[in-house]
Amino acid sequence: MFRTNFDSYSFEPTFGGHWLITGKKTALYASFEQSFFISPRHATVVEPGGGVNPGNVSFNNLRRIMVGVLAFPAQMRVEPFAGGGFAIMEALNIETSCATCAGPGDVATLQAAAEDAGTKAFFWWMGGIDIKQGRLALYGHYILTSAAASFLIQGTTHTIQGGLRYSLGSSKEGITDRQ
């Protein structure tokens, strides 16, 4: 869930994957997500001549790459977790329309300003729960990302995700493990 300085809150479908490298009570988390918008979202960027044309920037996809650390304090079948890290979010397919541009140079300047406002770095925090059955886990979590100045998306973003995880094996080898 997010909003821009032109559009109200938007809920868009997101697909992706993540890699969770677990230890005993902590894990490294890396993920890649892609949102496919149902319809383009709009934002407003001040035009080179100082004019303001509301909704003059549109984009129709959003990509997020995240890395961080999660803590799993309870080693049980139903296991809560929480953590945080860093993310890079990128608005894709950015297009501009310039009502007050005097020429191609102004159009290019507005496009460059919109593309600069289309990618930013953020902090994120996550909380969730795992329900484990052998190597399979059903999970659900909530992600909150911080706000960034001069980004096409205004304020914090909120994400609720869920799915299935499958453990490919242990991340540690014991001294007595046979190779």
55 secondary structure, DSSP code: T
pLDDT of residue 39: 84
* Residues 14, 36: Cα–Cα separation, whole Å: 6
Residue 160: partners with Cβ closer than 8 Å, 6 or more residues away: 140, 141, 142, 143
Q: Is 99 exposed, middle or buried (0-12, 13-18, 19+ CB in 10 A)?
A: exposed
CB atoms within 10 A of CB 57: 28
Strand ranges for 3-135 from DSSP E: 3-4, 14-22, 26-43, 57-71, 78-92, 95-96, 119-133
Domains parsed from the chain with CATH numbers? 3-166 (2.40.160)
Q: Please classify residue 136 by burial: count the beta carbons closer than 10 Å to its beta carbon, then call 0-12 exposed, 13-18 middle and 19+ buried.
A: exposed
pLDDT in the model for residue 172: 61
Site of tokens 């080898």 = 173
Residue-level pLDDT at 130: 93
CA atoms in the 13 A half-sphere facing the CB of 95: 8
The pLDDT of residue 126 is 97
Query: Whole-angstrom Cα distance, residue 170 to residue 157?
Result: 33
Q: What pLDDT, on a 0 to 100 scale, did the predictor assign at position 123? A: 97
- pLDDT at position 151 is 86
CA distance linking residue 95 with residue 83, whole number of Å: 35
State which residues of the chain have pLDDT below 70.
1, 3, 5, 170-179
pLDDT in tens, 40-92: 888 888 888 777 878 788 889 899 999 999 999 988 899 999 999 999 999 89
62 vs 25, 40, 51, 150, CA distance in Å? 32, 11, 27, 16
**Per-residue confidence (pLDDT) for residue 15, from 0 to 100:** 86
What is the predicted pLDDT for the residue at 120?
92
The reported pTM is 0.80
